[in-house]
Amino acid sequence: MPLRLRGKKKAKSKETAGLVEGEPTGAGGGSLSASQAPARRLVFHAQLAHGSATGRVEGFSSIQELYAQIAGAFEISPSEILYCTLNTPKIDMERLLGGQLGLEDFIFAHVKGIKKEVNVYKSEDSLGLTITDNGVGYAFIKRIKDGGVIDSVKTICVGDHIESINGENIVGWRHYDVAKKLKELKKEELFTMKLIEPKKAFEIEPRSKAGKSSGEKIGCGRATLRLRSKGPATVEEMPSETKAKAIEKIDDVLELYMGIRDTDLATTMFEAGKDKVNPDEFAVALDETLGDFAFPDEFVFDVWGVIGDAKRRGL
């Protein structure tokens, strides 16, 4: 039966604290029922990744509001914040803050540092990099493939914010739009990128025994605060191991077909397909939920295969 990706109505694709010296750094999470609105005012602790006192942030429901809270705590502009990592001040792309925040996670904000301009010769169709964004308009480099075009330009680093491409300002673009722009650049030609790297300090560690080792999953099996672009944040249980692995595999499919990784997008796809019985139903659900993406049929079949495997294992 053919997929009906274009047959349905399209929907738009988704998307004050004082300083406290010596506050302990935390990691992990609590345990509350899924989709339950927070019954108490949740308080989180944050530091600037290059070193600072500890600030308290609370009462936020979105990434924008969180950045405003952090900016207020440290008396900086929200536009200075590139992205945040959880439980480590290092530029660790596996610890990026996305749409969910463990109830005891400690937040490290990475702010703008040195600006740089680089010229890149596009010798291959693929540049060998993965782009993501912070949800409020800053796209940055999440991964650089060994041996790829970008890997040969040593001044370009994981964590660098891409400010412009060939003189075109891309602040405010989503990561998939930036990836598309880079993919469309002509082969065998030079192009220029203006980048901003996060401010760095000497190697530092959290101010107490907080952080988990990099091999551990933050807050695994515990509760998280899910941030939303509209409406209040909600406390939800962490996904089961089977669901978490399925979402990670969908992220892999996204990277394969679109050159991006987006856990929130992968989660939305999983939720759209978990109660569907065949790929046609899943295609319609995707079109209704994420119609602006116009995913190719091959992509939909691959994602459906991942969801089907997860359902057979039991969610």
Cβ neighbours, 10 Å, residue 154: 8
* 135-189 pLDDT per residue, tens: 899 999 999 999 999 999 999 999 999 999 999 999 999 888 998 899 899 999 9
Question: In a 10 Å sphere around its CB, with 0-12 CB exposed, 13-18 middle and 19+ buried, how is residue 266 labelled?
Answer: buried
| pLDDT mean over 256-269 | 80
pLDDT of residue 14: 37
pLDDT of residue 18: 43
1 vs 58, more confident: 58
Q: Are 34 and 207 in contact (CB under 8 A)?
A: no
* 200-252 pLDDT per residue, tens: 875 444 433 333 333 333 333 456 666 665 566 666 665 677 888 888 899 88
Q: Please name the amino acid found at residue 3.
A: L
pLDDT of residue 49: 95
Does the structure show a pLDDT above 90 at 296?
no
User: Residue 119 CA to chain centroid, in angstroms?
Assistant: 27
142 SS3 class: strand
pLDDT of residue 226: 62
pLDDT level of residue 190 (50, 70, 90 thresholds): very high
pLDDT of residue 242: 84
pLDDT of residue 218: 36
pLDDT of residue 61: 86
pLDDT level of residue 62 (50, 70, 90 thresholds): confident
CA distances 174 to 180, 249, 273, 283, Å, are 10, 21, 24, 23
* 212-224 pLDDT per residue, tens: 333 333 333 456 6
Return the CATH architecture of domain 43-198: Roll (2.30)
Eight-class DSSP state of 38: P
* Residue carrying structure tokens 């782009």: 131
| pLDDT mean over 268-287 | 89
* 9-58 pLDDT per residue, tens: 433 333 333 444 333 333 333 333 344 444 557 889 999 999 999 999 99
pLDDT, averaged across the chain: 79
Q: Are 28 and 209 in contact (CB under 8 A)?
A: no
* 84-138 pLDDT per residue, tens: 999 999 999 889 988 778 888 999 999 999 999 999 999 998 899 989 999 899 9
Question: In a 10 Å sphere around its CB, with 0-12 CB exposed, 13-18 middle and 19+ buried, how is residue 193 labelled?
Answer: buried
Bridge partners, residue 106, by sequence: 45
Euclidean distance between the first and final Cα of the chain, in Å? Answer: 27
pLDDT of residue 294: 75
pLDDT of residue 73: 95
